[in-house]
């Protein structure tokens, strides 16, 4: 499996000339290109930095073969497109475009007690890579590769370090970095390392780069 890092929370996963894209949002400049190249789109939650509704609507109109998955709060707006969209929830396991997907979690990480948490689900892909969306939910499964959100109004650095310790991944890759400067990202990577707080080093994959998983 190959992972292409797009800006912020969006990644493309590819194998055998098939691609799925997770969380193409408005902070990802090449989200339209990523969706156009994918057979399926997976959305973790409804916030715009993860979910560009206009983009996905246009893609569904243009491509009857495109499949979109996410919580009901996301895909429910396309109720008439039952052949193209499907709501998912925690505990489901299914095959999407040749990828085995297991679904975990229920709610977005708390931003503030005055702001209600929206539905948020994470995706474990091929029992190898976990995209948590915006939550520190620990899946009841082994996670060889964890995509770790490193910035956002809901994130807390200490909780992120403890999250990595609980999940115990073999590999840790940064996502959700848009609110951090380059210096901030490097500083965080220095702390999320075996020399400091976590047993595995945070890896920063430059936007546009593709790596093997």
Q: What is the mean pLDDT of residues 125-146?
A: 98
Rounded CA separation 51/21 (Å):
11
Confidence band of 65 (pLDDT split at 50, 70, 90): very high
Please write the tens of the pLDDT for every residue from 189-211: 999 999 999 999 999 999 999 99
Annotate 186-213 with b (16+ C-beta within 10 A) or e (fewer): eebbeebeeeebbebebebbeeeeeeeb
Q: In the chain, what is the straight-line distance between the N-terminal and C-terminal CA atoms, in Å?
A: 5
Q: Which residue in this structure is represented by tokens 């000339």?
A: 17
pLDDT at res. 82: 83
Domains, in order of start, for the chain: 2-212 (3.60.15.10)
Averaged pLDDT score across all residues of the chain: 97
pTM above 0.85, yes or no: yes
- Cβ-count burial of 87 within 10 angstroms (0-12 exposed, 13-18 middle, 19+ buried)? middle
Coil, strand or helix: which one is 29?
Answer: coil
Overall size of the chain counted in residues: 213
């Amino acid at each position: 499996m190959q992972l292409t890092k797009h800006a912020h929370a969006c990644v493309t996963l590819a194998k055998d000339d098939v691609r799925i894209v997770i969380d193409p949002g408005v902070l990802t400049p090449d989200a339209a290109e990523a969706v156009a190249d994918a057979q399926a789109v997976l959305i973790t939650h409804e916030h715009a930095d993860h979910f560009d509704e206009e983009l996905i609507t246009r893609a569904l109109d243009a491509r009857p073969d495109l499949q979109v998955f996410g919580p009901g709060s996301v895909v429910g707006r396309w109720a008439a497109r039952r052949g193209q969209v499907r709501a998912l929830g925690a505990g489901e396991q299914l095959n999407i475009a040749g990828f085995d997907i297991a679904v975990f979690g229920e709610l977005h990480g708390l931003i503030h007690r005055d702001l209600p948490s929206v539905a948020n689900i994470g995706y474990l892909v091929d029992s190898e890579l976990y995209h948590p969306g915006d939550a520190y939910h620990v899946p009841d499964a082994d996670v060889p590769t964890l995509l770790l959100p490193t910035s956002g109004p809901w994130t807390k650095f200490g909780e992120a370090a403890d999250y990595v310790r609980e999940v115990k991944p073999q590999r840790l890759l940064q996502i959700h970095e848009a609110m951090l400067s380059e210096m901030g990202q490097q500083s965080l990577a220095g702390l999320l390392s075996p020399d400091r707080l976590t047993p595995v080093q945070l890896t920063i994959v430059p936007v546009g780069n593709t790596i093997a998983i």
